[in-house]
Amino acid sequence: MAQYGNSLVKKAKTTSEQPCTFTANGVEVKLTPATVKNYLVSGNAERITDQEVVMFINLCKYNGLNPWLREAYCIKYGSSPATMVVGKETFQKRADADPNYNGEQAGVIVETADGQIERREGCLVLENEQLLGGWAKVYRKDRLYPSTAEVSMTEYTGRKSDGSPNGQWSGKPATMIRKVALVQALREAFPARLGALYTAEERGYAEPVEATFNEVPEADAPTPQQTSGKTPMPDAAPAPSDADDFFAGVE
Q: What residues contact 218, with CB distance under 8 A and at least 6 apart? A: none
The Cα-based distances of 225 to 11, 15, 39 in angstroms read 31, 26, 18
pLDDT for 196: 84
pTM for the predicted model, two decimal places = 0.72
Residue 28: enclosing H or E segment and its boundaries? Answer: strand 27-31
Q: How far apart, in whole angstroms, are the C-alpha atoms of residue 150 and residue 169? A: 17
Neighbours of 30 (CB within 10 A): 13
Q: Check residue 200 and give its pLDDT.
A: 83
Alpha helices in the chain (DSSP H): 2-16, 33-39, 50-63, 88-97, 153-156, 167-171, 173-189, 191-194, 224-227
Q: What is the pLDDT along the chain (251 residues), one digit of tens a residue?
A: 555 555 555 544 444 578 899 999 889 999 999 999 999 998 889 999 999 999 999 999 999 999 999 899 999 988 889 989 998 889 999 999 999 999 999 999 999 999 999 999 999 999 999 999 999 999 999 999 999 999 999 999 888 878 888 878 889 999 999 999 999 999 999 999 998 899 988 887 666 654 433 444 444 545 544 444 443 433 333 444 343 343 333 33
Closest to 93 in 3D by CA, of 69, 123, 62: 69
**CA 131 – CA 23 distance, rounded (Å):** 41
Please report the pLDDT score of residue 223 as a whole number. 52
Smallest Cα–Cα separation from 207: which of 69, 78, 100, 108?
69
**Could you give the CA distance from residue 103 to residue 47 in angstroms, rounded to a whole number?**
41
Domain ranges of the chain: 1-87+207-251, 100-195
Give the pLDDT confidence score for residue 202 in this predicted structure: 87
